[in-house]
Amino acid sequence: MATETPPKRERRARAADLDPVARRQQGVSAARRLVLVLWAADPSQPARAAAPFVYALAARALEIEVEMHFTAASVRWLFEGVAERAHTDQARTKTVLDFIREARTAGVKLFACAMALREHSRGEALHQSARVCQGSAALGEGAGVERKVSRCTQSSRRLG
């Protein structure tokens, strides 16, 4: 009985990584969608907010559909005045709002947990582009938002 040697198996696996047809034949497919859940990247530690946005922007550059879901205290970024004041590095080169704007421009869909929004609101308004939907809010003008959730309302002020 002939057996396949490990080096031959490894060569075939490496070839599949490079050849899209071989990948499909082996049942391996490239990611088409990325969902990032933010829960510890809240305004108490703004430096933690940069990495999820960097990952989201990199995935969009690869034409992968990206959603960012803000839960727990991370929903504070979606209230007016919070993201504008928070810098993600000591050199103060970029605010969380800068990342939000870049992500929206790139087509990243931003969602927030409605329960967390109620829990962490301190009387601020959401950015106007935030759509409050059953169970979540979405930032941006994304056409997919209405298809994903129903009964959305829009807040009254605009994110710059």
Could you read off the pLDDT of 55-70 as tens digits, one per residue? 999 999 999 999 998 8
Closest CA to 103 of 73, 65, 156: 65
Q: Is the dihedral angle over the CA atoms 36, 37, 40, 41 positive or is it negative?
A: positive
| 57: its two tokens | 């922007």
* Whether the predicted pLDDT of 156 surpasses 50: no
Q: Residue 52: inside a domain, yes or no?
A: yes
Q: Residue 15: inside a domain, yes or no?
A: no
Residue 140 near residue 78, CB atoms below 8 Å = no
What is the model's pLDDT at position 123?
85
Q: Residue 2: inside a domain, yes or no?
A: no
What is the model's pLDDT at position 115?
87
* Whether the predicted pLDDT of 36 surpasses 70: yes
Structural domain containing residue 95: 31-154
Q: Residue 125: inside a domain, yes or no?
A: yes
Q: Residue 82: inside a domain, yes or no?
A: yes
Q: Residue 149: inside a domain, yes or no?
A: yes
* Whether the predicted pLDDT of 25 surpasses 90: no
CA distance 139 to 89: 24
Provide the CATH number for the domain around residue 56: 3.40.1260.10
Tens-place pLDDT, residues 81-122:
899 999 999 999 999 999 998 998 999 988 888 888 889 988
Q: Residue 64: inside a domain, yes or no?
A: yes
Closest CA to 51 of 36, 62, 65: 36
Q: Residue 117: inside a domain, yes or no?
A: yes
Q: For the chain, what percent of residues have pLDDT higher than 70?
A: 61
What is the model's pLDDT at position 94?
96
User: What's the number of domains the chain is made of?
Assistant: 1
pTM (2 d.p.): 0.67
Residue 124 near residue 72, CB atoms below 8 Å = no
Q: CB under 8 Å to 136, separation ≥6 — which residues?
A: 69, 111, 112, 113, 114, 149
